[in-house]
Amino acid sequence: MSAVVDPAPAGLRARIADALWRRPGLTIFLLLTPPALWLGIVYLGSLFALLLQSFYSIDEFSGMIVREFTLKSYRELFTPANIDIIIRTVVMASLVTVAAALVGFPIAYFAARYARGRWKALFYLGVMLPLWSSYLVKIYAWKLILAKEGILGWLFETLHLSWLLEAYLSLPVLGGNSLSVSWTGTFLVFLYVWLPFMVLPTQAALERVPVSFLEASSDLGARPAQTFRHVLLPLALPGVVAGSIFTFSLTLGDYIIPQIIGTSRFFLGQAVYSYQGTAGNIPLAAAFTVVPIVIMGFYLWFAKRMGAFDAL
């Protein structure tokens, strides 16, 4: 007669396996402890250290950090020059996010609905390719494209449209001496660099919308625009919001792109970088880093209120 159950194992590994099987809670505990420690100590710890720093101040005379609670750094944060930096960064991040959603949605829609087989592979390649090459190389390449005597300028000249470019560059705020030293240039490069982060989650969300939903909407008399407005968009929204969290926060924190392309006016990341670096004004740098954290907090709260996470 054959045995009904195997005898209790003798080996240590087998005994551990049995013990874990009997106590799933222990398994989960063992699995979660390292990441929890990592998150708790390294991540939250450094965040709190940062927050603490922002409540210190720098002594005007000696430049020493005074380890006493004060809101001085935050008062300094709200000087006109720093407010400029905050507004400039938030406006840029918002514009980049909206543009990424507008440009990214059709790409994602095509990939989710129509692309099959080889086209789908091509899509992933096309979207991901910018992520493979070095971020710096791409930005320098864009500098060449946007330069006064760069590729775009040459293109406009070849098409006898230089006047159009000139007219655009003469616009206040948007324009400048050339595209590569204008806000438009900064915006374009931001859009290019962060677009994949919008396309991929949007495409994932769109792929989860069954075709039958669109057919049902059309069946019930909705024109394509109505189907988009009432069915597709609400269901894709979690993906778009996820993407916008990427594009918004990445733009908010970046300090490389505005250094190379644009008007040289500072963005938040650059301000943090120079205050904590050469200036040694760590309290103000810390206060500056609190700004994007607060802004993202509001952003997530607002997105939640808009129902962006309801379909999760």
Applying CB under 8 A, which of residues 266, 286, 287, 289 lies at the interface with another protein? 266
66 counts as binding another protein under rule CB under 8 A: no
50 counts as binding another protein under rule CB under 8 A: no
Smallest separation (angstroms) from another protein to the CB of 156: 15
Smallest separation (angstroms) from another protein to the CB of 279: 3
- Looking at beta carbons, which pairs linking 36-42 to residues 24 or more positions away fall under 8 Å? none
162 counts as binding another protein under rule CB under 8 A: no
Query: Which among 135, 98, 93 has a CA at the least distance from the CA of 292?
Result: 93
Q: Which of residues 232-261 bind another protein (CB under 8 A)?
A: 234-235, 259-260
46 counts as binding another protein under rule CB under 8 A: no
Smallest separation (angstroms) from another protein to the CB of 22: 35
Cα torsion through 13, 17, 23, 27, rounded to 10: 90
Q: Are 176 and 182 in contact (CB under 8 A)?
A: yes
Q: Which of residues 67-86 bind another protein (CB under 8 A)?
A: 76, 79-82, 84-85
277 counts as binding another protein under rule CB under 8 A: yes
Smallest separation (angstroms) from another protein to the CB of 29: 32
Rounded CA separation 307/284 (Å): 35
Smallest separation (angstroms) from another protein to the CB of 224: 8
Rounded CA separation 127/197 (Å): 9
Query: Which among 296, 299, 245 has a CA at the least distance from the CA of 268?
Result: 296
178 counts as binding another protein under rule CB under 8 A: yes
Q: Which is nearer to another protein, 162 or 218 (CB)?
A: 218
**Joined tokens for residue 161:** 């449209």
CA triple 95-99-100, angle to 5 deg: 115
303 counts as binding another protein under rule CB under 8 A: no
Smallest separation (angstroms) from another protein to the CB of 295: 19
**Joined tokens for residue 275:** 């205050």
Could you give the maximum distance between any two Cα atoms of the chain, in Å? Answer: 95
Q: What are phi and psi of 57, to 5 degrees?
A: -145, 170
Smallest separation (angstroms) from another protein to the CB of 105: 17
Rounded CA separation 292/89 (Å): 10
51 counts as binding another protein under rule CB under 8 A: no
Rounded CA separation 71/208 (Å): 48
Q: Are 260 and 139 in contact (CB under 8 A)?
A: yes
Q: Which is nearer to another protein, 130 or 150 (CB)?
A: 150
Interacting residues with another protein (CB under 8 A): 58, 60-65, 76, 79-82, 84-85, 88, 143-144, 147-150, 176-178, 180-181, 210, 212-213, 215-223, 226, 230-231, 234-235, 259-260, 263-266, 270-271, 274-275, 277-282, 284, 307, 310-311
